Structure 1
């Protein structure tokens, strides 16, 4: 019998339940939606979570499509799933936990006696560290971004090669291989010896079906490659960036992009122009270095110095 919160499944069974993480302001118990998919035969354990940031919903879309397609009778090993991590932010469609104004993916490995976010991080980290592999599903918040996977442990980390291979197996086509901030699950997991990746499934308001499909395919690639399911993963070469150049606006106005997401750009290429409300040119911004046009703001209006876009740099393939 395998349990996660109130979900409990014998070999060949699936069950859903709630993972307790404290109480709301009226004293009602808060439980994260969770599931156990226990394969009929022994194998590895995969931990899968979504909505660590409350407005990043594509991962929830992936979970809602993956779990119904899993037949425990055909599965080797176990999946532990938390469908919504940042409970309080999810309820109000915000990025950060409004209870303590914290970005959840800066709170790992958490503290079971700490703030709201630290307690949620501790409970989910305890579940994650029972696994052999960790998938932490994200997206580029509500901005526009390509589908990519992030390897956040740092290239000198002892687990870097295994995390990079897991990212390639997930197979979004693009990988950001750059050490992440303290408190990310994709940094804390490898410190425990567990290959961990942070798929960033596009960026949108609400959710995007194309990015969700990419995430579903990525999860099933992992399940096949690591012998949870029979069959072969869809292998493909990945474009890897080892850094980012971020660009702000030199003036206020309206942004007009000259590059599309995923485009290869060279140093000196025009990335965007800024015009005023009457269409008069205010500024032109060019790329500082070669790379991939990776991410942009969603709204056209900008103030002086406000973020506009990012280019992935130091690019190779593997």
Structure 2
């Protein structure tokens, strides 16, 4: 059976690309999101993938750019639906939020087809995602430096929590953040429709990181293999799971110098960072309140009093 998404249409064993029209720009010109349909030669599940719902999070775009050319539709069982760039307006200007309505797109799901710009885009992409059995919403920590992680956002009491956790383990970044997310996130909303969904956060800070992109490519192929889209087996490796965090702010203004690297274990009382003047004079040292893992840090060194500096994961186990 032929499968369509926007103007992309593919018969079994074929692939096609096109556009999913979602509105008009300020001069009245129609615009659409880049989409792809990979219709396998054999029947199977449907996977939906999207990237750049935050317009400056480019690593997910890099993953899709590298995954799609490696896929042979005749060797695939099932269907893969892809929206390559979700936040069209933000992507054009390399910004995080949609500049048309100053909205963070990943707070707008399930959307509203008659709503704001972001709500209309969310509604169109959610309609596509709702056709799937599994969802990968590719992100990165564009406002901070962070480890490669996969986020499970439905909450531990959700009926699909174990399914989402399995999907995160299969993706296999090495780290899982298992914490209920804010309203409007795709990874929070789609499980309510019975679709296991995760949010891989492929590294952090604005840019195009080759290591994180390659990790994302490997994760996508892990999912395709484990869930039967491709033949083969995946050896599942234990993941470090975090369910709680302590955040640290700057006690004063100056320049931050970290004593630990991302992913390092820290002990209670160990120095996390020091604050210096522009001349390298130490103003103060900040130590860890609890034992954990340095999970996330600010992107730029300069801080004002009370400004966010870093996060340490404290509720940790192995899954």
Correspondence for 2:147: 146
Specify the alignment match of 2:304 in structure 1: 303
What SS does the aligned partner of 2:182 have? coil
Cα offset for 1:287?
1.2
Superimposed CA distance per residue, residues 137-179 of structure 1 (whole angstroms, 9 cap, x where no aligned partner): 0001142111000000000000000000000000000000000
TM-score, reference length from structure 1: 0.99
Shift of 1:17: 0.3
* Partner residue in 2 for 1:261: 262
CA–CA distance in 2 between the matches of 1:109 and 1:151? 17
Structure 1: runs of 5 or more not aligned: none
Q: Counterpart in 1 of 2:63?
A: 62
Aligned residue for 1:185? 186
Q: Name which of structure 1's ranges 114-123 and 199-208 shifts more when overlaid on structure 2.
A: 199-208
Deviation at residue 38 of structure 1 after TM alignment: 0.2
Corresponding pairs, count: 318
Distance, in Å, in 2 between the alignment partners of 1:208 and 1:232 is 28
Indicate whether 1:120 and 2:141 are aligned. Answer: no
How far apart in 1 are the matches of 2:137 and 2:257? 33
Residues 254 and 274 of structure 1 are in contact (CA less than 8 Å); yes or no, is this contact kept in structure 2? yes
CA separation in 2, counterparts of 1:67 and 1:234?
23
TM superposition outliers: structure 1 runs of 4+ over 6 Å: none
2:105 matched residue in structure 1: 104
Aligned equivalent of 2:253: 252
Q: Does residue 1:22 correspond to 2:23, yes or no?
A: yes
> Equivalent residue for 1:219?
220
**1:264, distance to aligned residue in structure 2 (A):** 1.0
Distance in 1, Cα, partners of 2:209 & 2:144: 12
Specify the alignment match of 1:73 in structure 2.
Answer: 74
Equivalent residue, structure 2, for 1:157: 158
Work out the CA distance in 2 between the residues paired with 1:317 and 1:44: 29
Give the CA deviation at 1:216: 0.2
SS across alignment from 2:295: strand
* 3-state SS in 1 of match to 2:126: helix
> Which position in structure 1 is the counterpart of 2:211?
210
| Higher mean C-alpha deviation, range 166-175 or range 140-149 | 140-149
Report the TM-score when normalising by structure 2.
0.99
Q: CA deviation at 1:3?
A: 0.4
What CA distance in whole angstroms lies between the structure 1 residues aligned with 2:280 and 2:47?
52
Counterpart of 1:90 in structure 2 is 91
**Cα displacement (A) at 1:72:** 0.3
Query: Which 5+ residue runs of structure 2 have no aligned equivalent?
Result: none
Aligned to 1:131, what secondary structure does the other structure show? coil
